Chains A and B, each alone.
Chain A
Amino acid sequence: MFLALLLAAPAGLWLALAARERPARSEEFPAALERASWSADQALALAPARQAHAAQAAQSGALIAARVKEVQGQFVLAEVQSPIIEPDLLAYALSSAPLGTELPAGSWLLGAIGDAARGRCLRLALPEAFPPGELWLAVFSLAHGEIVASVHVQG
């Protein structure tokens, strides 16, 4: 019997693997679905009004650790220690002073995640002059408008 089972094993394996189904995919998403997506413009429009929340979060100590991995010209790649809630649409504020004390007007920017699947790296666009020393960030999920993290980056 054991020999019969041994011989049946390759056949069983072949049948099971041949039966595998690929996930169903649409050729392209209909326009209706695309219309429902959040646009970057919408997100940017919402960002400035969240300054007060950034300050509030910073005062409550909602900070997560981060470190600058790389500075590439105008961009900074910062790695945060905790996963962030919304990896796709983020806004962030940059300041050379701790959050809660000052957030310069117009400091809100849109951020993109370097590796969305990982959700741990933020690629941030710097203002014209990169402030020396410490750099403070406030990061928001734009999809839900919550504060995700205030990130204290060692410049």
Chain B
Amino acid sequence: MGHAYRAVQWNPFKRRYDACAAALVLLYLGCFVGVTAWLEPEATIESLLIRGFGTAGFLLLHLVLSIGPLARLDARFLPLLYNRRHLGVVTFSLGLVHGVLSLVQYHALGVLNPLASLFQSQVGTRTLAEFPFQPLGLLALAILFLLAATSHDFWLANLGAPLWKALHMSVYVAWFLLLMHVALGILQAETSPLLVALLALGVTWILGLHLLAAWRERRIDSKAGASSDWIDVCAPAEIADGRAKIALVAGERVAVFRYADKLSAVANACQHQNGPLGEGRIIDGCITCPWHGYQYKPDCGASPAPFTEKVATYDVRVERGRVLVKSAPYAPGTRVEPACIPAESMPRHASSAASEFFVGYLPSAPPGVLRFVRGAALAVFVLAAALGCALAASQRTFAAGRFEFGQLRKFSGVIALEPATSLLLQRPGFVGDQAAAHSHYLLVAPGKHGARDLVQAFDGRWVEVEGTLVHRAGQAMLELKPGSIVALAAPPDGASSLAVSPKRRALGPVTLRGEIVDSKCHLGVMNPGELAAHRACATLCIRGGIPVLFLARGSNAQQRQMLLVGSDGRALNQEVLALVADPVEITGELSSWGDLLVLAAEPAQIRRISH
């Protein structure tokens, strides 16, 4: 309890609680990132962190949503409820890291403002599978931010418990949005049945717990007495000493407390967070809320000074061996004379009210409660480690693409603008026909930009360039270091006179199925850099002039990547945006330009396939 503003009212239990929460998150992240890095050495650190923080936040949200109904069903879970708000703030923080990393990774450094990109990059929405899932995540994050920002008692006191509570119920909206964010995002690409099963299990768990708790609450309300001025609650002997019986009185829950031979009735909802006072205890002569230990005097419903919370009070009387409560409440804080229990109505033997009761701010917790909480925490830790490993192992295999980030290399070659902006490198020690004399290294600028503007002035000339290599499955790309292009007057020593451009060799018409991807991400800058979850990023890259690749897929996991251009050789970047990452069939003319495969087709020859 607090009567003045303090950032956090720390106590030893809260410190232990937060330390456990931090350890839990670190354990999960360690397992997820460690196992993924071990199983998938080609996975990029950005992907690991984005996925790790995202899944950690989503799983933690499930834990946060579970604590409430668990505590309703079994009071031994109440210690987990005591500091639940901190778990909520941690959930938001994990989501924020996930969101910021995703925004930077997938939407920054392009031709659009990152936030504009987030809403615009997913161009086509013809099927549910193409639904832009990222804005759903952003909206959920905004809700979680609102909840984290207002989680402090300062806001609770200023907004009032009912409004604050209603506001914080929007966590269910955030949960639903995140569920759809996951199902319409990463699960459109990931194929492991375990991931689907875990998500469905999470939904079933949350739904089942809440329905069960709601059913239990409804049972309490169904015991409402007949409507009259005085409501029959129970016999005095049914109320244990220091505890309460909850009754529905004129539609409101009322807690009738017995302390020694006296009875007092107050509204059941705690003014702090609407906690069930009737499930609390009389401690130090005060009704003590089971959620956060807020206290009220039983006869007047007012918190002891200097605290100012007040709840409504009710008249109570004992008549013919029954406890009766008057249906009309008094204003909060009004003193009502407690009813005395006649000697003949007192319980004949000591009540069993000695069960343990947890109050977070007391120096020590009851041993039984402590044992239970330790066991529950251990179970959560084991579950977190198991889920971290299972989720990591269930991911689609990352491709053997690589981005040599931070490693600059120098290359000498000839700039070619057709069929795509490339650097032609003479193959060392080459012997053979001219068609295999050089390698095409596709050229791009840093970020999500093509390199045509940077190299246009050097078309057909020998240059020396510096950049970072990206490579996958026989295709290399160079991310140019801006300002590093130097024109050479003559081929470097040892280089033979290189044919300026390899001859195009027609391979005939083909019809192929696969996916349109942006070459930079696909070759290794993002890993994975394909399928629906990567659609928005690929669209932004292609919009920015990154060469368009078609990834042809065959049976038995065969894949071949080829440059996709128009039938007249033009870049199709702006014409295929709505088809990026979709399952498509393309009919066109296949040709080879040295080592580079090129598929020439018009947008009308690209057909979206529906399964």
Contact = CB atoms under 8 A, between A and B. Distances in A.
A85 B203 CA distance: 43
B454 interface: no
A118 B430 contact: no
A60 B432 CA distance: 27
Interface stretch (A14-22, A99-107, A127-135): A14-22
B467 to A, nearest CB: 15
Contact of B127 (A19, A35, A117, A119): A19
Interface string A140-155: 0001111100000000
A85 B127 CA distance: 38
Contacts of A32: 507-510, 590
B400 A83 contact: yes
A1 B175 CA distance: 13
Contacts of B532: 21
A38 B428 CA distance: 17
B583 A8 contact: no
Contacts of A144: 425, 427, 439, 474, 476, 595
A7 B583 contact: no
Q: How large is the interface on A (under 10, 10 to 19, 20 to 34, 35 or more residues)?
A: 35 or more
Contact of A9 (B203, B431, B508): B203
Interface string B177-210: 0011001100110000000100110011011001
Contacts of A52: 429
B529 to A, nearest CB: 14
A27 B585 CA distance: 12
B531 A23 contact: yes
Contact of A86 (B474, B509, B531, B560): B474
A12 B178 CA distance: 11
B431 A35 contact: no
Contact of A24 (B41, B510, B553): B553
B431 A26 contact: no
Interface in B391-433: 397, 399-400, 402, 425, 427-432
Given A24-B609, A46-B430, A33 B41 contact: no
Interface residues of B, number: 72
Contact of B428 (A1, A3, A45, A146): A146
B176 interface: yes
B341 interface: no
Nearest to B598: A36
Interface string B584-597: 11000010100101
B552 interface: yes
Interface in A36-94: 36-38, 42, 45-46, 49-53, 83, 85-89
B496 interface: no
Given A19-B129, A83-B42, A88-B473, A33 B176 contact: no
**B-side interface mostly:** mixed
A33 B425 CA distance: 24
Contact of B42 (A1, A50, A119): A119
Given A15-B128, A16-B187, A30 B210 contact: no
Given A13-B199, A33-B510, A144-B439, A25 B554 contact: yes
A147 B436 CA distance: 16
B471 interface: yes
A150 to B, nearest CB: 14
A3 B214 contact: yes
A15 B204 CA distance: 16
Nearest to A51: B429
B515 interface: yes
Contacts of B473: 87-88
Given A32-B507, A50-B429, A116-B400, A13 B188 contact: no
A84 to B, nearest CB: 9
B427 A23 contact: no
Nearest to B174: A5
A18 to B, nearest CB: 8
A56 B585 CA distance: 46
Nearest to A83: B402
B95 interface: no
A46 B433 CA distance: 11
Given A16-B128, A32-B507, A33-B560, A53 B173 contact: no
A27 B510 CA distance: 13
A93 to B, nearest CB: 12
A46 B554 contact: no
A45 B431 contact: yes
B554 A28 contact: yes
A50 B429 CA distance: 5
A60 to B, nearest CB: 13
B179 A13 contact: yes
Contacts of A119: 42, 400
Given A21-B127, A145-B428, A10 B207 contact: yes
Contacts of A9: 175-176, 179, 203, 206-207
B139 to A, nearest CB: 14
B429 A25 contact: no
A20 B129 contact: yes
Nearest to B607: A24
Q: A36, A38, A120: which has the most chain B beta carbons within 10 Å?
A: A36
B555 interface: yes
B173 A85 contact: no
Contacts of A85: 402, 469, 471, 476
Given A86-B474, A117-B400, A25 B210 contact: no
A126 B436 CA distance: 29
Contacts of B511: 26, 30
A116 B173 CA distance: 44
Given A24-B609, A27-B554, A46-B430, 14 more contacts: A6-B207, A15-B128, A20-B187, A21-B582, A21-B610, A25-B513, A25-B553, A46-B427, A46-B432, A51-B429, A85-B402, A85-B471, A118-B400, A144-B595
Interface of A: 1-3, 5-10, 12-13, 15-17, 19-30, 32-33, 35-38, 42, 45-46, 49-53, 83, 85-89, 116-120, 143-147
Interface of B: 41-42, 127-129, 169, 172-173, 175-176, 179-180, 183-184, 187-188, 196, 199-200, 203-204, 206-207, 210-211, 214, 397, 399-400, 402, 425, 427-432, 436, 439, 469, 471, 473-474, 476, 507-515, 531-532, 552-555, 558, 560, 582-585, 590, 592, 595, 597, 609-611
